[in-house]
Amino acid sequence: MTPSVRLQEMIRVIRSARTQGEERGIIQRECADIRAQFRQGDNGERSHSLAKLLYVHMLGYPAHFGQMECVRLIASPRYSEKRIGYLGAMMLLDEKQDASLLITNSIKNDLSHSSQYVQSLALCTLACMGSAEMCRDLAPEIERLLRASNSYIKKKATLCAVHIIKKVPELAELFTPSARTLLSEKNHGVLHGAVVLITELCKRNPDTLDQFRKAVPELVQIMKGLVTSSYSPEHNVAGISDPFLQVRILRLLRILGHNNDTASDAMNDLLAQVATNTDSSKTAGSAVLYETVLTIMDINSESGLRVLAVNILGRFLLNNDRNIRYISMTSLQKIVQTDHNAVQRHRGTIVDCLKDQDTSVKRRALELSLALVSAVNIRSMMKELLIFLSFCPPELRSQTASGIFNAAERYSPSKRWHIDTILHVLTTAGGDVRDETVPNLIQLITTASELHCYTVHKLYRALVKDIAQQSLVQVACWCIGEYGDLLLKGECEEIEPMQVTEDDVLDALETVLQSHMSSPATRGFALTATMKLSTRITDNVDRIRSIVSIYGSCIDLELQQRAVEYNALFKKYDHMRAAVLERMPVMDKNLPGHTNGDTPGEIKEPDTSKPKPVEAGLLSEPASQVCDLLDLLGGTDTPLQPSPAPTSTPTTTSSADLLDLLGGLEPTPELTIPPAPFDLFVLKDKHCCVYVHVVPTVSVYEKNGLSLKIQCDKQTETEVTVSLIASNSTQNDITNFTLQAAVPKSVQLQMKAPSGNVIPAHGLGQVTQTVLLNNPNKASLPCFRFMRIRVSYSNQGAMHQDTVLIDSFPSTACQPSISPL
């Protein structure tokens, strides 16, 4: 190889520059030279100058003046000039430049050049930067090359066709016939390209997908050939014959077998064979196994195969190679909802991965661990998660904290455990928890009335130790204010006795008030707590009065207002003080969310005798946030008919629970929040329209006091979700209420767990059950309209059974209607 002397000389000079300024100077000189060269026209030096320009471009300097030169060089008859010209085109031109159109003609000519290497240059450039117009112009040429050329050109033409289809999807039909025949090629390069092309065609068009399903046996044959073939030096990588092609074929099989029983059946044997015979000691084998597992999980495979796949992932988890551990956790994450029990078996290993050095691995392990928490393993899992929280990297802390809260909310074995867990999180990572934690915890504490003494003692001790964590301090202040009398009593069954005097308590609160670490909200909490204590302690009321009056002249407006009001309470309204500051009633979790955007953590008025509206629990957080946002915009999205199904965790399949844990759940009918009361400032705006979603319910059955209504929640082309709502207007409760449903064969039915099986009398309550109807073959919709329901229940000791035929669903789901205010 003759060295490219002058280019290399320039590179050497540039690299020897000692400063950035020196380098810039050299580059400027060289660019001036290059420009002069370009102006001189054809003298055999042009390709040389362009190469130098490309180097300069890679260093980050502007090189647009070389674009036209690329066009000229591409048109040159000399191969060396074409080669560098095309390279320049790929680096400097892209479809957004006008100059790129100018090379279309050259490419067209070169595609029919006698030398295959020139053809290959043209194909490569087209596949790299071809714009939609260029693709449209040249598509027939490419199609011709696909059919009639040698394998060297065929493989390039195939990938070029893939690019064309991506740019101009309408041209897909042009390439479909040739794609099928390419599968019978022997050359691996062409075969690989063909598989990529077919994958792309199937992605674009479901009819083509159906068509190519017929190719499954052929693909299975090819795969079998690769897996069982003897050593072939040309394609062998670490004992695997052409892993690149194998992975690609597996990916295509995945697409073809998805949601199709016949295709899936045809590949079962092959997948089992690949899964058992592939040697995974090196990356190549692991790559093939990984793809196999993904394919098995995505098609309708038999359960034995699925178990095999999960076991492979379990084996990966124990692998020394970090990459493979990471991969297996990513895959387990995808299947944890569908194959929950199988993944549970590997829980120990997953929890161990929490201690890995690598943050990416830690993150995956955290997500998986949170998904695997269940009522059975909550205590041990929580222990691990809390340990993890103390040592985890800062970017994962808030995710861990919210995950722990969700899990505790869902599965806590006892209230005391729940409170302990939350306190633990607040002490370790109080700074990273969400704002709603404080009111949620407060609400939880009020409901656990037997634990008030224990809680307030624990919080007091935590407060005394450290006042840096704002959420913890806020909760502690609130509790001390509320239950200060219990604190001062000194004895508590579940905790070591500690003598706390009134001065101690007031000292603690004053420290919080005066500390520069306390946020204004925290100081508000502390001030109110101090005030509340005035009715709960006997000796130091004067001290409280003086504290409160000091803050009457505080700079912070919030504190000043409160202090002034409290002062007034002391002076003018002393007779009311006891009543105003008495113990608050237990807050009900199911209250409608507050709508005017207040963070419920701030206690606005000292009007503590009214129950504080608290945003309904953690579960409905995403929903209530949605409500708040929509309210600010002046609309609401909740169905007008509130199905008063309990807002506590529905006893649906564990899959729904896990979706909640991962925080991705949108309000389902079972978790409906009753429509938030419209706020005044929304009503005042006369020009504001309210979008009201009307969801019609149709009554389908009325007999003996039991009525059944059907409500269509969601309707897509292949799926309908309906809710069946049962209510009871008799004098007695209806028990053992169950619904069974039957649908035509082409429809798949999935019934979620009902909200309960007792319907209270006098219409006091309802039972809701959601039913999912899926018609994957997209047969005509009237198919959906037939459903037979059998109702069975007990009333006053007698068993009743009845059948209902539903032949029409309320077809309009969620029809928006605009009503101006």
Partner 1 sequence: MMHFLLLFSRQGKLRLQKWFLPLPERERKKIVKDMTTMVLSRKPRTCNFLHWKDLKIVYKRYASLYFCCALENKDNELLALEILHRYVELLDKYFGNVCELDIIFNFEKAYFILDEFLMGGEIQETSKQSIAKSVEASDMLQETMEEYMSKPAF
Secondary structure of 575-622 as H, E, C letters: HHHHHHCCCCCCCCCCCCCCCCCCCCCCCCCCCCCCCCCCCCCHHHHH
Cβ closer to partner 1: 199 or 728?
199
Cβ closer to partner 1: 345 or 355?
355
Burial 519-554, CB ≥16 within 10 A → b, else e: eebbbbbbbbbbbbbbbbbeebeebbbebbeebbeb
Nearest distance in Å: CB 626, partner 1: 24
Cβ closer to partner 1: 198 or 462?
198
Q: How many CA atoms lie within 13 A of 343 on its CB side?
A: 25
Cα 436 to Cα 482: distance, rounded to the nearest angstrom: 20
Nearest distance in Å: CB 244, partner 1: 5
Cβ atoms of 98 and 63 closer than 8 Å: no
Cβ closer to partner 1: 129 or 486?
129
Nearest distance in Å: CB 10, partner 1: 10
Nearest distance in Å: CB 343, partner 1: 20
Nearest distance in Å: CB 26, partner 1: 16
Cβ closer to partner 1: 129 or 451?
129
Cβ closer to partner 1: 284 or 720?
284
Q: Dihedral sign for Cα 485, 491, 497, 501, please.
A: positive
Cβ closer to partner 1: 349 or 651?
349
Angle among Cα 119, 123, 128 to the nearest 5 degrees reads: 150
For 597, list phi and psi in degrees, rounded to 5.
Answer: 80, 10
Cβ closer to partner 1: 360 or 697?
360
Instruction: Using the structure block, give the residue that is written with the tokens 């508590």.
Output: 492
Cβ closer to partner 1: 15 or 610?
15
Cβ atoms of 432 and 671 closer than 8 Å: no
Query: In sequence order, what are the residues at sequence separation of 6 or more whose Cβ sits closer than 8 angstroms to the Cβ of residue 42?
Result: 76
Nearest distance in Å: CB 305, partner 1: 20
Residue 16 CA from chain centroid, whole number: 50
Nearest distance in Å: CB 219, partner 1: 16
Nearest distance in Å: CB 64, partner 1: 9
Nearest distance in Å: CB 4, partner 1: 4
Cβ closer to partner 1: 147 or 778?
147
Cα 360 to Cα 305: distance, rounded to the nearest angstrom: 29
Cβ atoms of 13 and 27 closer than 8 Å: no
Nearest distance in Å: CB 633, partner 1: 28
Tell the burial category of 671 from Cβ atoms under 10 Å away from its Cβ (0-12, 13-18, 19+).
Answer: buried
Cβ atoms of 416 and 494 closer than 8 Å: yes
Instruction: Using the structure block, give the residue that is written with the tokens 């998805």.
Output: 258
Nearest distance in Å: CB 322, partner 1: 4
Cα-Cα-Cα-Cα torsion 259, 265, 270, 272, nearest 10 degrees, comes to 90
Nearest distance in Å: CB 168, partner 1: 14
- Parallel, antiparallel, or unpaired for β 240-241 and 236-237? antiparallel
Query: What strands lie across the sheet with 798-806, from one edge to the other?
Result: 734-742, 787-795, 798-806
Cβ closer to partner 1: 129 or 492?
129
Cα-Cα-Cα-Cα torsion 160, 166, 171, 172, nearest 10 degrees, comes to 90
* 3-state SS, residue 732: coil
Nearest distance in Å: CB 405, partner 1: 25
Cα 270 to Cα 226: distance, rounded to the nearest angstrom: 11
DSSP-derived secondary structure for 763-814: TT-EEEEEEEEE-TT---GGGGG-EEEEEEEEETTEEEEEEEEE-------S
Cβ closer to partner 1: 396 or 531?
396
Cβ closer to partner 1: 84 or 527?
84
Cβ closer to partner 1: 65 or 681?
65
Q: What type of residue sits at position 232?
A: S
| CA distance readout (Å), 747 to 264, 302, 633, 805 | 20, 21, 40, 16
Cβ closer to partner 1: 235 or 415?
235
Nearest distance in Å: CB 625, partner 1: 24
Cα 391 to Cα 354: distance, rounded to the nearest angstrom: 10
Nearest distance in Å: CB 279, partner 1: 14
Residue 32 CA from chain centroid, whole number: 53
